[in-house]
A and B are shown apart, each in its own frame.
Chain A
Amino acid sequence: MSGASTPAPAPSSLPDRLPREPRWKALLKSERFVLGAIGVVGFLILWEALARSGSINVQFFASPTMIAAAGAREVQDPGFWSDFFISLTEFLSGFLVAIVLGIPLGLAAGWFPKLNYALDPWLNFFNALPRVALLPILVIAFGLGIWSKIAVVFLGAFFAIVIPTVQGVRTVDRKYLDVATSFRASRRLLFTSVVGLATVPFIVTGLRLGMARALIGVVTGELYAATEGLGVIIRRSAETRQGDRMLFGVLIFTLSGIIGVELVRAVERRFQKWRPEGFRR
């Protein structure tokens, strides 16, 4: 197969699109990607080597391959999945209740200044307080089961959602309100067509912050006092020196943190345009 045997290609018109580099080639050229990959792989290799040579104690810092092996073992164990779903239930129920109660309260507090003044000291207090400090009371009130964790997840996320929502309502662009009022929009219409929509980006930010807080709530609640859940896997594995299993549990939390934050961030980007000038990020 040589160039001489094939007929010379007809002089074709210009391609309508410039040939694009394949994605992986573009990635390889990006310094950021290459260095990032080197950082990840290099550190993993270093970790593995140190663990194999016995410089670090694998009972505590299990090597990456050991963690992977532990993970492969765990996912075949129905016990792990039941713990996983317990943690997921706690997270989702607490977070959902926080959304359902937090958004309306935030909108109301932003809309009615007097309500805002009355609530403000309490919101500030609970926001400055590490919510996990309430765990002993929650355990006394709701027991060791999932209810006390749902409560602490709820408390964690609730204030993180309410506070940006209040801020969102109170920073609605003046000119939109003026336009609406000059067209004699009722207060109700003002709320549904201007304020409600302008607040959406702030609510989404609240959701992102609340998500992180909720995850902290799940972990701390389960480490503190629980009988089931991923936190219990971490605690028990630490107590029995199963470093690989413990770090696998931590890894699950890392992954859920990343997935959760990315999900909300995608929503956040979608509503970025709605954000008033000066609050855009």
Chain B
Amino acid sequence: MSAAAQPAVGRAVPRRWRFPGRPSDRVLYGLIGFLIVLPLWELLPTLGLVKRVTLSSPSAIVSVAIQDFTSPAEYLRINAPLNLSSRVWNSGYEYIASVDTWPIMVPNVLHLPSNLWVSAQEYMVGFLLAAVTGILLGLALGLFRRFRYLVEPWLDAINATPTIALVPLIILVFGIGFTQKIVVVWLEAIFVITLTVLSGVGAAEKKHLDTALSFKASRRLRFTSVILPSSVPFILTGMRLGATRALVGVVVAEFLASNAGLGFYINFSGTTLRTDRVMLGVILLGMFGIIVGELIRRIERRFDKWRPALR
């Protein structure tokens, strides 16, 4: 937040003396918020006010996080229940014991690191593809007026469509697999990037362009020395917005058809009523979203000086 975002509202009273070493209000009240929510979340299901299956609880989430991060990656040894008690004999056909369960090996679909890795791959490939194509398309649309006029109606129409509605079509065309996820992520992210870059090309300051023109700068030089630098902040903003959309794409693509990934993990846990795992997946997603957003925002701030004043 820049200086402009300082609270403008408030009384002009002298600053009160504060206890040295006291955290700032922002940190203090942020912590108070957590201290209200977390115990409440833990208590509500315990008191029976809300069903545990709909809300889970922080402690359950922590324990399931440890379990799923540390469980073996490939197979899990579980005791499967048998329909009837079975008798176990040794090699000499002597009766040893009766058992109700039998240890079996099952694929560990809930191993979190591998699920995270699958989603990360889909996210990175899809998003980078969207960034490259989106930026190129945006620049082309901004530079070639006639091209823009030609495709503008389609662009507006697709931008107004919730592209999620096309996921069933994408599944039909590309099947279920890595390609389908990439296409969904790409489609979710590309248009917001393109449109932001397009507005950036349009926002290149007139006076800079005029100066370049009066020095007889070629079309190419005008592009590389005026339009491109002034579009950089917009490219970064578009990428930040696209990164959020891409995350939606990963989740929805995995919700609707997948056998691995964070979206699969959340969906699988939801259908087996393991709300603690659903919450864990949701928290990981949110953290991932915050980290990526913050990263791009850092880079964006660095280029903020380049941003032309809008109008």
CA distance A36 to B145 in the complex (A): 11
Given contacts A140-B273, A234-B165, A254-B161, contact A169 B255 (CB under 8 A): no
Q: List 29 A-B contacts (CB under 8 A).
A: A60-B173, A111-B9, A118-B32, A121-B30, A125-B290, A128-B244, A130-B248, A132-B248, A134-B282, A137-B54, A137-B275, A139-B270, A140-B270, A170-B6, A170-B9, A171-B4, A171-B5, A171-B8, A174-B8, A181-B12, A216-B164, A223-B164, A223-B165, A237-B168, A246-B169, A247-B169, A253-B165, A254-B157, A254-B160
The reply to whether the CB of A280 lies closer than 8 angstroms to some CB of chain B is yes
Q: A61: which B residues are within 8 A, CB to CB?
A: 169
Cβ-defined partner of B289 (8 Å) among A38, A130, A195, A235 = A130
The reply to whether the CB of A66 lies closer than 8 angstroms to some CB of chain B is no
The reply to whether the CB of B18 lies closer than 8 angstroms to some CB of chain A is no
The reply to whether the CB of A92 lies closer than 8 angstroms to some CB of chain B is no
**Most chain B Cβ neighbours within 10 Å, of A113, A195, A243:** A113
CB distance from B145 to the nearest CB of A (A): 8
Given contacts A117-B25, A171-B4, contact A216 B30 (CB under 8 A): no
The reply to whether the CB of A266 lies closer than 8 angstroms to some CB of chain B is no
The reply to whether the CB of A80 lies closer than 8 angstroms to some CB of chain B is no
Whether A216 lies near B248 (C-beta < 8 A) is yes
Binding site for B on A (CB under 8 A): 31-32, 34-36, 38-40, 43, 59-61, 110-111, 113-115, 117-122, 124-126, 128-130, 132-137, 139-141, 167, 169-174, 177, 181, 190, 195, 212, 215-216, 218-220, 223-224, 231, 234-235, 237-239, 241, 243, 246-247, 249-250, 253-254, 257-258, 261, 278, 280-281
CB distance from B280 to the nearest CB of A (A): 11
* CB closest chain-A residue, reference B12: A181
CA distance A239 to B172 in the complex (A): 8
Q: B269: which A residues are within 8 A, CB to CB?
A: 136
The reply to whether the CB of B215 lies closer than 8 angstroms to some CB of chain A is no
The reply to whether the CB of B7 lies closer than 8 angstroms to some CB of chain A is yes
Whether B252 lies near A231 (C-beta < 8 A) is no
Cβ-defined partner of B29 (8 Å) among A117, A135, A238 = A117
Q: B27: which A residues are within 8 A, CB to CB?
A: 117
Cβ-defined partner of B161 (8 Å) among A140, A169, A250 = A250
Whether A172 lies near B152 (C-beta < 8 A) is no
Whether B285 lies near A130 (C-beta < 8 A) is yes
A-B contact count (CB 8 A): 189
* CB closest chain-B residue, reference A173: B8
CB distance from A44 to the nearest CB of B (A): 10
The reply to whether the CB of B13 lies closer than 8 angstroms to some CB of chain A is no
Report whether over half of chain B's contact residues are helix, strand or loop; otherwise say mixed: helix
Measured as residues with beta carbon below 8 angstroms from the partner, the interface class of chain B is 35 or more
Apart from A61-B169, A134-B282, 4 more pairs, CB < 8 Å: A117-B33, A218-B162, A223-B164, A231-B165
Q: A113: which B residues are within 8 A, CB to CB?
A: 7, 9-10, 25
Given contacts A39-B149, A118-B29, contact A132 B5 (CB under 8 A): no
CA distance A172 to B5 in the complex (A): 10
Given contacts A31-B149, A133-B263, A195-B9, contact A128 B293 (CB under 8 A): yes
CB distance from A10 to the nearest CB of B (A): 46
Report whether over half of chain A's contact residues are helix, strand or loop; otherwise say mixed: helix
Whether A170 lies near B252 (C-beta < 8 A) is no
CA distance A234 to B36 in the complex (A): 43
Whether B266 lies near A114 (C-beta < 8 A) is no
Whether B10 lies near A215 (C-beta < 8 A) is no
The reply to whether the CB of B130 lies closer than 8 angstroms to some CB of chain A is no
Within 8 A of A (CB), among B154-196: 154, 156-158, 160-162, 164-169, 171-173
* 5 smallest beta-carbon distances between A and B, as pairs: A136-B270, A128-B289, A238-B168, A257-B160, A117-B29
CA distance A170 to B2 in the complex (A): 12
Given contacts A140-B54, A246-B168, A253-B162, contact A35 B293 (CB under 8 A): no
Whether B160 lies near A258 (C-beta < 8 A) is yes
Whether A126 lies near B286 (C-beta < 8 A) is yes
The reply to whether the CB of B21 lies closer than 8 angstroms to some CB of chain A is no
**Most chain A Cβ neighbours within 10 Å, of B12, B162, B252, B256:** B162
* CB closest chain-B residue, reference A255: B160
Q: A133: which B residues are within 8 A, CB to CB?
A: 251, 263, 266, 281-282, 285
CA distance A117 to B25 in the complex (A): 7
Whether B150 lies near A36 (C-beta < 8 A) is yes
* CB closest chain-B residue, reference A42: B150
The reply to whether the CB of B267 lies closer than 8 angstroms to some CB of chain A is yes
Whether B54 lies near A118 (C-beta < 8 A) is no
CA distance A173 to B8 in the complex (A): 8
Whether B9 lies near A220 (C-beta < 8 A) is no
* CB closest chain-B residue, reference A237: B168
CA distance A119 to B36 in the complex (A): 11
Whether A172 lies near B160 (C-beta < 8 A) is no
CA distance A172 to B157 in the complex (A): 35
Whether A172 lies near B54 (C-beta < 8 A) is no
CA distance A235 to B12 in the complex (A): 59
CA distance A170 to B3 in the complex (A): 11
Whether B33 lies near A119 (C-beta < 8 A) is yes
**Most chain B Cβ neighbours within 10 Å, of A31, A36, A235, A258:** A36
* CB closest chain-B residue, reference A40: B153
CB distance from A142 to the nearest CB of B (A): 9
Cβ-defined partner of B256 (8 Å) among A59, A223, A261 = A223
